[in-house]
Amino acid sequence: MSTYTIDVVKQFSKKPYGRYPEDGEGCGENFRKMWLVPKLREFDHVHVVLDGYNRYGRSFLDEAFGGLIREEDFTFEELQRKLTYSHSLVKSIEALIKDRIEAAAGLS
């Protein structure tokens, strides 16, 4: 099984913020399109490390992760199988991602 780890702060942006490109280069849409989608299509499993930044906004997380279902046609089941994420200090960020994926899937 092929696995890829994305470290958001080291590989994408030191201060990920906003939903759309007009909010800045480090927005959720850019993260989804530039990192999440290509890696989810290429690898069997993708793990996203969110350490190094503690102020992820709901708009960033919703666009990046919920957008996988709304905009990219991934299913909830597929994401459950292929995607994991972690933040070692702020577990509420993990809970918010779970919530945004479930909301996009119509489960909450």
**Residue-level pLDDT at 1:** 85
**Residue-level pLDDT at 16:** 97
Residues of the chain scoring pLDDT < 70: none
pLDDT tens-digit readout, 1-32: 899 999 999 999 999 999 999 999 999 999 99
pTM over 0.95: yes
The Cα–Cα gap between 68 and 64 comes to: 7
Domain locations in the chain as residue ranges: 3-104
Residue 63 · residue 27 · CB < 8 Å: yes
**Residue-level pLDDT at 36:** 98
Which three-class secondary structure state does DSSP give residue 4?
A: strand
